Amino acid sequence: MATDPDKRTILPHLDFSLKSPSLINPAREPGEPPVSPRVILAFTRPDYHILCRLAKATGPPRYLWDCALHEGSWEGRSITVAGPVLGAPYAVMVLERLIALGAKVVLALGWCGSLQSPIKVGSLVVPTAAVGGDGTSRHYLPQPAQPLPHPELCGLLQEQLKATDLPQYCGPIWTTDAFYRETAEQVRYYQSQGILAVDLELAALFAVGQYRRVAVAGLLAVSDELGELTWRPDFRSPAFRQARREAARVVLTTAAAAAEI
């Protein structure tokens, strides 16, 4: 029997208490090896491979779902490199399991689109806060709480970034789930609020870090520009490739220096 469209039930949106216990909890499986307390989580496969090469990760990886894990080291400190994790829901699933496996300090490495005209492809952005336009972060933080990186880890990341001559910016970003629904209206609004860039993951990862009391911060390389209300990607440019290489070294150095956090 066909349903009369005028009589369909409209289901209400409900905000449930974040204090309610979860039915499914991340846990280390029997016999499953731990990860290093220091983890770098790469959003893209190319960056994952750069990190593995720099950290001299050898041998076959193991996997959390389709996310590869490799053990390496930097400046005498053990570091787990994980990736790729594209999009907030998947990134959070992996992060939850990494925490269950022993991660204490997590640095995320990814790409972003700039929203401010002066911020060009090849620049680096350290997010100091995130606007949660994703669907995941609100399950970890009560509204209107803002997803934030761990202050000491974020500060350490900014300090390590001073060693590079690349253009660099620190400030808030916007995280969205809908790459193909970034509109001129949204960009204009976030520009007016001083938002620097847009990504797909960090608001959710910051929210998990706050909820689980684990240090999480992130570094983004600018891969495309939206500041003139026209999409200008430049994923193959030498400037972007250099930014990714420099960003990988910075997060590795930060992870090694973060042993006491």
Instruction: State whether the Cα torsion 21-25-28-34 is positive or negative.
Output: negative
Instruction: Let me know if residue 210 belongs to a domain.
Output: yes
Range of the domain at 111: 34-257
The closest of 147, 49, 44 to 86, measured between CA atoms, is 44
- Backbone φ and ψ for 22, nearest 5 degrees, come out as -75, 145
**Is the residue at 216 inside a domain?**
yes
Which helix (H) or strand (E) segment holds residue 205: the answer is: helix 202-212
Using the predicted structure, report yes or no on whether residue 3 has a pLDDT greater than 70.
Answer: no
- pLDDT-based confidence at residue 10 (cuts at 50, 70, 90): confident
Q: Quick check: is 135 in a domain?
A: yes
pLDDT tens-digit series, residues 45-65: 999 999 999 999 988 999 999
E strand or H helix that includes residue 153: helix 151-161
Question: Could you tell me which residues come within 8 angstroms of residue 158 by beta carbon, excluding any fewer than 6 positions away?
Answer: 126, 170
Position 230 scores a pLDDT of 97
Least confident of 34-38, 56-60, 194-198: 56-60
State residue 77's pLDDT score: 97
- Residue 63 forms part of a structural domain: yes
5 assigned to some structural domain? no
- The pLDDT score that the predictor gives to residue 132 is 96
Which two three-digit tokens encode residue 101? Answer: 């496996």
pLDDT in tens, 102-118: 999 999 999 999 999 99
Q: Tell me the residue length of the chain.
A: 261
3 state SS of 239: helix
Lowest mean pLDDT among 12-16, 98-102, 143-147, 238-242: 12-16
Mean pLDDT over 108-135 rounds to 98
Read off the pTM. 0.95
b/e burial code for range 74-99 (CB count within 10 A of at least 16 → b): beebbbbbbbbbbebebbbbbbbbbb
How many domains are there within the chain?
1
- Residue 5 predicted with pLDDT over 60: no
> Which amino acid is located at 154 in the chain?
C
23 domain-assigned: no
Residue 60: the pLDDT is 94
Angle at 149 between CA 146 and CA 153, to 5 degrees: 160
Domain membership flag for residue 232: yes
DSSP state of 12: P
Indicate the SS3 state at residue 70.
strand
Q: What is the mean pLDDT of residues 74-103?
A: 98
We report the CATH number of the domain holding residue 99 as: 3.40.50.1580
Output b/e per residue, 207-242; b: 16+ Cβ within 10 A.
bbbbbbebbbbbbbbbbbbbbeeeeeeeeeeebbee
Residue 7 DSSP class: G
Question: pLDDT confidence of 89, banded at 50, 70, 90?
Answer: very high
3-class DSSP string for 86-130? CCHHHHHHHHHHHHHCCCCEEEEEEEEEECCCCCCCCCEEEEEEE
- Say if 175 falls within a structural domain: yes
